[in-house]
């Protein structure tokens, strides 16, 4: 297989995997009212149950780098697919029987599978980006956003047809697992742990390393200041993007006394702005560099958050949502790319920085909820500006590392 063909197959296979990741998660999260009714719990109780999933993700992501280093991206993704299938079948079983315990086990296992999936697909996206020679990682994250939007439509369609959430979970999860089985092979062909295919960029052969070196590199990433600071950048990015998903719609409803549909449209505007800029912003990264674009993204998100939180009227707040979405678009893929500069150490470093996402998912929703009860949702979201300012300050740490020579990579342990 020619190098260009292999790169093209890997690129589109990864795009599909990212989109499926978005579909499978959002399609059932949009049916939380049905899940709440099936389990017979309150909204507050359901929120606490769902935190179990974030605990599972945090538990798994801290060791996923070592897992990838030991077993490779392909095997890790296969395992993640199987675990995700089992997890969501447990979630379906829990909703079908009204068992909170079974549902919670499924949610925890789903969090584990998400971490096992998230690290290797981002890692392989970064490896393909290096092969292409220009910024394309934001395209993969845009595919995730598109998949999330499609998943929301899938959930809405099943809901409109009055199909039980358990049936939806079984159907969607099974179809996604089958699709992933065909995509994982070509998507991981350029992973650091696999040999390059015949004719695929022979000028840059795979580095060799001694047994156990990858595992040591994965664990040592937790002691690297640059990696930890990039993790803080990714934490800020996840808070900016995640808080919009959790609180933007309800903050619109409570803050401006609009209908729920208008709040949903506001979040749709945020996702649309983010998706468009993830496709359009790659050229800006190539032209101006990661550091400049990360700082510009932080400023855009900061201004957008301030406008949304402080605007006296709806039009100005809506403009703030657009700026916020544009600012949230590129920080995540920039941080992942920065953690992947060195292919040999990329699995451990990507695992470390993505663990900051899980930490944010675990802590931010309840904290923002407490603040929203006392000062309102719009003003509570202003606290995210602190993390945004931090990402602007730390932007210099995403500067690309010098490319190691062939001999340096071969000798590294």
Report all structural domains of the chain as residue ranges with CATH numbers, in order of start: 1-188 (1.20.1250.20), 219-398 (1.20.1250.20)
Residue of 82, 104, 108 lying closest to 93 (CA atoms): 104
CA distance 343 to 120: 12
Q: How far apart are the first and last CA of the chain?
A: 31
**Tokens of residue 87, six digits:** 């997890």
Q: Which residues contact 132 (CB under 8 A, 6 or more apart)?
A: 7, 11
Q: What is the pLDDT of residue 361?
A: 72
Specify the pLDDT at position 155: 85
pLDDT tens track of the chain, all 413 residues? Answer: 566 888 999 999 999 999 999 899 888 877 877 888 899 988 778 878 888 888 888 888 878 878 888 888 999 999 999 999 999 999 999 999 999 999 999 999 999 999 899 889 998 998 898 888 888 989 999 999 899 888 888 888 888 888 999 999 999 999 999 999 999 999 999 887 654 444 444 444 444 455 555 566 667 888 899 999 999 999 999 898 888 877 787 788 888 988 867 877 888 889 889 999 998 888 899 999 999 999 999 999 999 999 999 999 999 999 999 999 999 999 999 999 999 888 878 888 888 888 888 788 777 777 787 788 788 889 999 999 999 999 999 999 999 987 653 334 434 44
- Please state, in angstroms and rounded to a whole number, the distance separating the CA atoms of residues 291 and 298: 11
**DSSP structure class, residue 183:** H
């Amino acid at each position: 297989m020619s190098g260009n063909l292999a790169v093209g197959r890997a690129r589109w296979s990864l795009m599909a995997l990212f989109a499926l990741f978005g579909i499978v998660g959002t399609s059932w999260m949009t049916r939380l009212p049905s899940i709440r009714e099936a389990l017979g719990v309150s909204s507050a109780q359901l929120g606490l149950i769902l935190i179990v999933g974030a605990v599972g993700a945090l538990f798994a992501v801290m060791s996923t780098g070592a897992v990838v280093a030991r077993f490779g991206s392909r095997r890790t993704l296969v395992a993640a697919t199987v675990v995700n299938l089992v997890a969501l079948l447990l979630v379906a079983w829990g909703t079908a029987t009204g068992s909170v315990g079974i549902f919670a086990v499924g949610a925890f296992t789903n969090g584990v599978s998400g971490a096992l999936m998230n690290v290797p697909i981002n890692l392989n996206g970064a490896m393909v980006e290096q092969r292409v020679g220009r910024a394309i990682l934001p395209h993969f994250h845009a595919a995730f956003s598109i998949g999330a939007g499609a998943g929301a439509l899938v959930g809405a369609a099943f809901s409109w047809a009055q199909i039980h959430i358990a049936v939806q979970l079984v159907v969607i999860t099974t179809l996604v697992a089958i699709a992933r089985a065909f995509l994982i092979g070509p998507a991981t062909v350029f992973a650091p742990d696999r040999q390059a295919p015949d004719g695929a960029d022979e000028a840059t052969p795979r580095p060799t390393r001694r047994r156990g070196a990858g595992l040591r590199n994965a664990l040592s990433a937790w002691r690297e200041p640059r990696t930890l600071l990039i993790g803080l950048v990714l934490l800020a990015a996840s808070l900016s993007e995640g808080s919009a998903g959790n609180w933007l719609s309800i903050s619109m409803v409570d803050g401006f006394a609009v209908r729920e549909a208008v709040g949903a449209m506001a979040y749709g505007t945020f996702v649309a702005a983010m998706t468009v800029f993830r496709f359009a912003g790659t050229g800006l990264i190539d032209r101006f560099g990661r550091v400049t674009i990360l700082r510009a993204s932080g400023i855009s998100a900061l201004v957008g958050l301030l406008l949304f939180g402080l605007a006296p009227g709806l039009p100005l707040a809506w403009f703030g949502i657009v700026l916020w979405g544009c600012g949230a678009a590129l920080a995540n893929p920039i941080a992942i790319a920065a953690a992947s500069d060195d292919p040999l150490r990329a699995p451990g470093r990507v695992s470390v920085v993505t663990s900051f996402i899980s930490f944010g998912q675990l802590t931010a929703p309840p904290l923002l909820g407490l603040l929203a009860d006392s000062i309102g949702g719009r003003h509570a979201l202003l606290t995210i500006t602190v993390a945004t300012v931090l990402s602007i300050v730390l932007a210099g740490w995403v500067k690309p590392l010098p490319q190691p020579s062939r001999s340096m990579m071969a000798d590294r342990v």
